């Protein structure tokens, strides 16, 4: 799933909010979120 989200985010098909949701639902790990976005994942 990492590659899918990385490509989608880089191509602007996916938003930061969508990546946060994927991390919240454990589709992406917090480490993968940081690798893709360059930001720490903060649970809200």
The answer to whether residue 23 is domain-embedded is yes
The answer to whether residue 16 is domain-embedded is yes
Residue with tokens 């996916």: 14
Q: Which two tokens stand for residue 17?
A: 């909010």
CB burial of 1-36 (b: ≥16 within 10 Å; e: otherwise) equals eeeebbebbeeeebeeeebbebbeeeebeeebbeeb
* Overall number of domains in the chain: 1
Q: Which domain holds residue 7?
A: 2-37
The 10s digit of each residue's pLDDT in 15-42 is: 999 999 999 999 999 999 999 999 999 9
pLDDT of residue 30: 98
pLDDT of residue 15: 98
The answer to whether residue 25 is domain-embedded is yes
The answer to whether residue 8 is domain-embedded is yes
pLDDT of residue 35: 98
Q: What is the pTM of this model?
A: 0.90
44 pLDDT above the threshold of 80: no
């Amino acid at each position: 799933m990492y590659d899918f989200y990385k490509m989608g985010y880089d191509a602007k098909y996916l938003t930061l909010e969508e990546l946060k949701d994927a991390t919240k639902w454990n589709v992406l790990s917090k480490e993968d979120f940081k690798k893709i976005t360059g930001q720490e994942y903060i649970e809200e």
